[in-house]
Amino acid sequence: MSCYLSLILAALLLTATLACNAVTKATAGVTIPDPAVSAPLATAKGEQTAVFAGGCFWGVEAVFEHVKGVTEVTSGYSGGAAKTANYEAVSDGDTGHAEAVRIIYDPSQVSYEQLLKIFFSVAHDPTELNRQGPDTGSQYRSAIFYTDENQERIARAYIAQLDQAKVFKRSIVTQVVALDSYYKAEAYHQDYLANHPNEPYIMINDQPKVANLRKQFPDLYK
């Protein structure tokens, strides 16, 4: 089911479900620890890239756009071929793509580990397999597309840490795979929450994520 079909359903369910979605499933009654494997912030300004997939890219993009040290966030597609990297094809769920966000950040202001903690705690529910909330299909899977061996090491260690500590009631299903390619999504998907803050889908599924970011990470919120 595409984000747009979910948007229509959300309009019908807004009154009944808005209160229930005040927090994401990932954070309801859960305290997310800091990654045990971590490194200090860089001593000089720079530019690094992280790519995450966690359901419809509208909400994940909106969360990371509000993180200090993040300079650019774009919605796009990872995991499939260039010829099918478009919303219509990806929405069928059989192109191999995941709706993903590419995050450009300054490692002297925010670390990869901090981005991972936000990803697991407020951006999505890492225990849902091939779905997030009302959106179903492999294009909505949870995935970390690492850009180097260090990102892979940190991501795998953090998932093992969270599972071992039984932070969530279910096991984490997040894939950790090398970033082969990333294709920027169509222009109308970019900054979707900022441009459509009052759409029912956004109000139900995504506005609470941004609110939780502000509540849980006040020092990183911008």
Catalytic machinery residues = 56
Residue 170: partners with Cβ closer than 8 Å, 6 or more residues away: 127
Compute φ and ψ for 208, nearest 5 degrees.
-60, -30
Whole-number Å distance between alpha carbons of 25 and 121: 9
Whole-number Å distance between alpha carbons of 77 and 57: 9
Which residue is it, tokens 């009654």?
29
Residue 138: partners with Cβ closer than 8 Å, 6 or more residues away: 93, 94, 96, 98, 130
Strands 131-132 and 98-105: unpaired
Rounded to the nearest 10 degrees, the angle between the axes of helix 207-216 and helix 57-65 is 30
The token pair that represents 47 in the structure block: 């530019």
CB–CB of 206/58 below 8 Å? yes
